[in-house]
């Protein structure tokens, strides 16, 4: 274990407890009847049949298209996938090809897990992709994805009309004052105990993904992105403090549950809440249940414009790949519009290119879900592009939960900044 790997393991969210997971999983890319040998591909989709089927189709197509390389898939449950990668990186047994959650790309690139990619080849130019679907670190591309997801607000038109609430548009989203007035009116109507469903029963990456865009819309952030050397002022400045007080007030005003139920989307569909802050992955389900009464609304503009999180799962090449020319050939092969289309169709996500969107019912121009594509294009903010992100995310999750539970907002944010800054200094600001 080299010095960098030791430091990375120390700061990563995942514990190195993957021995059992890795048992029987050969990381090294070995030989085969193919002239160039076997290329291992790791994916997090062991429990996701729809996406796994597309991965398998792409691999089968590639293997049938040539005789030099043979790609073999090893699938892991998503819950143990990162553990497996971290554990294998220390022994340099990563496969040639692996998928990576977009926010982790800088961490894995800095840690020496990933190799930069040259994406000049392939049918789809990288410039055609939604920016959030291309994983970069220090101006180099390390990963690309076939799709993204978008946060949005779902509501019933009939409910907003009943309470005399304006339906916001992408050109004129709700302001902070309008949103507060809407929640107050819905609460006063007496039908909803908590008119706003924010999914506060979730955990892990959901918290920075769902709530840091609102912090950014207030004018704060998780870290000072001008230097990536401190969170001072970004996470505990006046704007961030304003966000934290607002976030807590949603509970004290009775607008949001301190902890949501186990299925917040079902609660919304069953009429327990009037407005749901949720992801595009539930859009088709909601349309099926509510039909034309369903509204897909833009995020609120809290002062610095509407914001949502960007970046989902992407594909990359490991730095220790013994056959990088084969991995590059495979990744280049995948960059076809038909695969961008098939991944998005299978997963109900937002296709990464306009060409793919045009081929998916609802995502084409004028389609039911075109607004989600627009939101991903216009409002997406990738999470901080720093190797420290996994640590920052964990600190933010705890801090936001503490605030919602009643902790003093200023003290909580100051403590978060103290912890993040200490981690940055401990790791020499993640310098190369």
Q: pLDDT (tens digit, 9 = 90+) per residue, 264-288?
A: 999 999 999 999 999 999 999 999 9
Angle value at C-alpha 72, between 67 and 74, nearest 5 degrees = 175
pLDDT of residue 90: 85
State what percent of residues in the chain have pLDDT above 90.
Answer: 88
pLDDT bin (cut points 50, 70, 90) of residue 63 is very high
Q: pLDDT (tens digit, 9 = 90+) per residue, 325-379?
A: 999 999 999 999 999 999 999 999 999 999 999 999 999 999 999 999 999 999 9
Task: Judge whether residue 36 has pLDDT over 60.
Answer: yes
pLDDT bin (cut points 50, 70, 90) of residue 35 is low
Distance CA(389)–CA(430), nearest Å, equals: 11
Task: Judge whether residue 27 has pLDDT over 80.
Answer: no
Average the pLDDT over 299-316 and give the result. Answer: 97
Average the pLDDT over 232-253 and give the result. Answer: 98
Q: pLDDT (tens digit, 9 = 90+) per residue, 180-228?
A: 999 999 999 999 999 999 999 999 999 999 999 999 999 999 999 999 9
Average the pLDDT over 164-182 and give the result. Answer: 97
Q: pTM of the full predicted structure?
A: 0.90
In the chain, what are the domains?
37-149+312-382 (3.40.190.10), 151-308+387-430 (3.40.190.10)
Task: Judge whether residue 23 has pLDDT over 50.
Answer: no
pLDDT bin (cut points 50, 70, 90) of residue 119 is confident
pLDDT of residue 2: 40
pLDDT bin (cut points 50, 70, 90) of residue 12 is very low
Q: pLDDT (tens digit, 9 = 90+) per residue, 126-146?
A: 999 999 999 999 999 999 999
Q: pLDDT (tens digit, 9 = 90+) per residue, 383-431?
A: 999 999 999 999 999 999 999 999 999 999 999 999 999 999 999 999 8
Rg (CA), the chain: 22
């Amino acid at each position: 274990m080299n010095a960098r790997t030791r430091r990375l393991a120390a700061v990563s969210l995942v514990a190195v407890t993957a021995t059992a997971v890795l048992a029987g999983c050969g990381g090294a890319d070995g030989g085969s009847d193919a002239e160039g040998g076997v290329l291992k591909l790791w994916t997090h989709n062991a429990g996701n049949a729809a996406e796994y089927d597309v991965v398998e189709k792409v691999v089968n197509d590639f293997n049938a298209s040539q005789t030099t390389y043979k790609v073999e898939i090893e699938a892991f449950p998503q819950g143990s996938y990162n553990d497996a990668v971290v554990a294998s990186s220390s022994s340099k047994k990563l496969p040639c090809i692996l998928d990576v959650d977009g926010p982790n790309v800088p961490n894995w690139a800095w840690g020496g897990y990933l190799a930069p990619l040259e994406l000049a080849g392939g049918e789809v130019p990288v410039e055609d992709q939604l920016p959030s679907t291309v994983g970069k670190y220090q101006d180099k591309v390390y990963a690309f994805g076939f799709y993204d997801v978008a946060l949005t607000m779902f509501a019933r038109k009939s409910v907003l009309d009943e309470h005399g609430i304006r339906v916001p548009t992408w050109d004129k989203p709700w302001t902070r004052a309008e949103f507060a007035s809407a929640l107050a009116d819905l609460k006063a109507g007496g039908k909803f105990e908590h008119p706003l469903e924010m999914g506060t029963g979730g955990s892990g990456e959901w918290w920075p993904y769902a709530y840091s865009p609102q912090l950014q819309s207030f004018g704060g952030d998780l870290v000072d992105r001008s230097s990536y050397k401190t969170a001072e002022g970004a996470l505990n400045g006046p704007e961030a403090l304003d966000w934290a007080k607002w976030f807590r007030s949603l509970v004290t005003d009775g607008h949001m549950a301190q902890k949501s139920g186990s299925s917040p989307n079902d609660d919304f569909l069953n009429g327990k809440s009037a407005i749901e802050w949720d992801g595009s992955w539930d859009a088709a389900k909601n349309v099926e249940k509510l039909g034309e009464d369903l509204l897909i609304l833009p995020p609120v503009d809290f002062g610095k414009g509407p914001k949502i999180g960007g970046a989902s799962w992407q594909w990359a090449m490991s730095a220790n790949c013994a056959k990088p020319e084969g991995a590059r050939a495979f990744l280049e092969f995948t960059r076809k519009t038909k695969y961008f289309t098939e991944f998005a169709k299978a997963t109900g996500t937002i296709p990464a290119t306009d060409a793919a969107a045009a081929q998916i019912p609802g995502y084409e121009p004028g389609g039911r879900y075109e607004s989600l594509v627009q939101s991903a294009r216009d409002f997406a903010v990738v999470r901080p592009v720093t190797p420290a992100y996994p640590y920052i995310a964990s600190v933010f999750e705890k801090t936001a939960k503490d605030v919602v539970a009643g902790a003093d907002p200023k003290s909580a944010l100051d403590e978060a900044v103290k912890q993040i800054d200490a981690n940055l200094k401990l790791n020499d600001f993640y310098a190369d």
